[in-house]
Amino acid sequence: MPHARYLAGLLALFVGLAGPAIAQAQQPERPNIVFAFADDWGAHAGAYGTKGLDTPTFDRVAEDGVLFEHAFVAAPSCTPSRGAVLTGQHIWRLGPGANLHSTLPAALPVYPALLEAAGYFAGHTGKGWGPGTLEPGGRSERPAGTPFDSFDAFLAARPDGAPFVFWFGSSDPHRPFDDSLRQAMRIDPATVTVPPYLPDVPTVRRDIANYYAEVQRFDRDVGALLERIAQAGELDNTIVVISGDHGWPFPRGKSHLYDAGSRVPLAIRWPDEAEAQRTVSDFVSLIDLAPTLLEAAGVEPPAQMQGRSLVGLLRSERAGRVEEHRAHVILAKERHHGLSRPDSAGYPSRAIRTEQFLYIRNVKPERWPAGSPRISSSQWIFSDTDDGAAKRWMIDHADDPLVRPLFLLSFGKRPAEELYDLRTDPHQMHNVAGDPEYAMVRDHLAHTLEQELRALEDPRMIGGAERFDDYPYYVGYGMEAVEPPAPVRRALRLPR
Ligand SMILES: [Ca+2]
């Protein structure tokens, strides 16, 4: 916006001549920024029509602002997803930060620090960047801002008059789950929706209901936070963003590039700037948030940020498809759990998600996508999928003829290319990459993906990608070779 910049320049000149008293009077009040970030929350909320799940806070923020139908993470794994949000860059630009339990090199600018340098007061509670270890990356400050025990402590430490940027990091709805929370919240497993890639059995229903309970706890905690901001008289000058770091922790969800792993809720409320009651269907990536928040605060995003500011979209007053160029997102995975495969190898893959299609390129199809069935870490096999009731049930029943097709979708090997037609297959279960009818679509998407990855300087395209398997995994426990359980061995036709 050259016009705005010109005006800002004039203002700066005027301020320089006239002194700070005028500056105070002329400068528009900069908005506070609150980012409420759930851990493992897929696109499930009342506002999205999820039955049996009560999310009044998220729904209200969506109602008071903009609800995004097509919001995706950069990667379906905590550490890289959070690193991408903070830096506004794709995960392959984060060096070791592309992997789980890694580090985030100090040379990468993060939006809370940039806002802090511009006079904001920056802090966070709970889970910020991570899990990982900052020291090897040479970083001395926490990427999400100074840690505080509570929002009240953060507010009390804020210098008079400074706008604030606050990261509310929850550990909900991350596993392990707790039956008693579900019972206290009175969530009836009979009312949950079981997607067709999971077996519809009581154990899975209870597991989903337990997940709903933690989503509701997150929503309640965000509600209490917003109440505190309102009591402090700041809510009308606060941008509120609510989202999650990747999809739900179920088979074929977290750690996978399907929607179940990569699509997340997103609502943004920006009083007086973003017209309320709008549902936007543009494809947005959470890497767009960093440049958005910087621009909203009047700070120029650094050139290396690859996300594209949503400020224009937020101010547009339009609903549905708003900005033509937001027609797809790019997704990536390198290494999730570091003890899933021999030699700590990852499962590198890239994807492009358009309105109608999901196209995935698996770079190493000879590897196991959810982890090897012959390696255990902390008593888990298939470590890329978190341990839990649904996963265990599928392992125990892997060779049941009715379960085996679903088991193979979540835990079996995958071809180099996957293509899903979302018009007929919204849950992305029927790979049509080899279907001659889809050859043109497949080739077009493969070409578009490759072009974009090159333009975005992905080592998987331009060279140097071997290092992603070599970066250290900063976790103490070890891996051991195991014999797969009999149902798994039979389902996968593995020799003894
Ligand atoms: Ca997570």
For the entire predicted model, the pTM comes to: 0.94
Question: pLDDT (tens digit, 9 = 90+) per residue, 402-419?
Answer: 999 999 999 999 999 999
pLDDT at 21: 42
Q: Is the pLDDT of residue 14 over 80?
A: no
Q: Quick one: 257 exposed, middle or buried, by C-beta within 10 A (0-12, 13-18, 19+)? A: buried
Dihedral angle, C-alpha 445, 447, 450, 451, nearest 10 °: -110
Contact 418, 360 (CB under 8 A): yes
Q: Which residues pair with 125 in a beta bridge?
A: 168
CA of 285 to the centre of ligand 1 (A): 16
Question: With 0-12 CB in 10 A as exposed, 13-18 as middle and 19+ as buried, what is 353?
Answer: buried
CA of 170 to the centre of ligand 1 (A): 10
Determine the distance separating the centroid of ligand 1 and the alpha carbon of 464, expressed in angstroms.
27
> How does pLDDT run across 192-214, given as a tens digit for each residue?
999 999 999 999 999 999 999 99
Separation of CA 85 and ligand 1 centre (Å): 13
- Ligand 1 geometric centre to CA of 244 (Å): 8
CA of 100 to the centre of ligand 1 (A): 10
Distance 246 CA to ligand 1 centre (A): 6
Whole-number Å distance between alpha carbons of 383 and 347: 12
CA of 338 to the centre of ligand 1 (A): 15
Look up the CATH superfamily of 29-326.
Answer: Alkaline Phosphatase, subunit A (3.40.720.10)
In the Cβ-directed half-sphere of 426, how many Cα atoms lie within 13 Å? 3
Distance 112 CA to ligand 1 centre (A): 20
Ligand 1 center–CA 181 separation, angstroms: 20
H or E segment to which residue 421 belongs: strand 417-421
pLDDT digits (tens, 9 = 90+) for 235-272: 999 999 999 999 999 999 999 999 999 999 999 999 99
Asked if pLDDT for residue 348 goes beyond 60, the answer is yes
Q: Which amino acid is residue 422, in one-letter code?
A: L
CA 88 to centroid of ligand 1, rounded, Å: 18
- Which amino acid, one-letter code, is at 415? P
DSSP assignment, residue 135? G
What token pair was written down for 403?
């379960």
CA of 54 to the centre of ligand 1 (A): 21
Q: What is the mean pLDDT of the chain?
A: 94
Separation of 394 CA from ligand 1 center, angstroms? 22
* Local structure of 2: helix, strand or coil: helix
Name the pLDDT band for 292 (thresholds 50, 70, 90).
very high
The predicted structure's pLDDT at residue 29: 86
Q: Is residue 22 over pLDDT 70?
A: no
275 C-alpha to ligand 1 centroid (Å)? 31
Residue indicated by tokens 């009342």:
46
Q: How far is the CA of 77 from the centre of ligand 1 (A)?
A: 6
pLDDT number for residue 9: 43
State the Cα–Cα distance between residues 288 and 85, nearest whole angstrom: 8
The whole-number average pLDDT for the span 317-345 is 95
What's the gap in Å between 39 CA and the centre of ligand 1?
4
Q: How many residues does the chain have?
A: 496
How far, in Å, is the centroid of ligand 1 from the Cα of 364?
A: 24
Positive or negative torsion for Cα 44, 45, 50, 52: positive
pLDDT score recorded for residue 277: 97
Structure confidence by residue, pLDDT tens digits, 27-55: 568 999 999 999 999 999 999 999 999 99
Distance 201 CA to ligand 1 centre (A): 25
Ligand 1 (ion): which residues have CB within 5 A? 39-40, 78, 245
What is d(CA 165, CA 176) in angstroms, rounded to the nearest whole number?
Answer: 30
| 436 CA from centroid of ligand 1 (Å) | 38
β-pairing, 349-354 vs 328-333, is: antiparallel
Distance CA 233, CA 361 (A): 49
Q: Please tell me the distance from the alpha carbon of residue 146 to that of residue 129, in angstroms, as a whole number.
A: 12
Q: Which positions ≥6 away from 135 have C-beta within 8 Å?
A: 103
What is the 371 CA–ligand 1 centroid distance (Å)? Answer: 18
**Which amino acid belongs to residue 128?**
G
CA 264 / ligand 1 centre spacing (Å): 11
Q: Is 367's pLDDT higher than 50?
A: yes
Binning pLDDT at 50, 70 and 90, where does residue 377 land? confident
CA of 171 to the centre of ligand 1 (A): 8
- The CA-based angle 228-185-212, given to 5 degrees, is 85
CA 7 to ligand 1 center in whole angstroms: 42
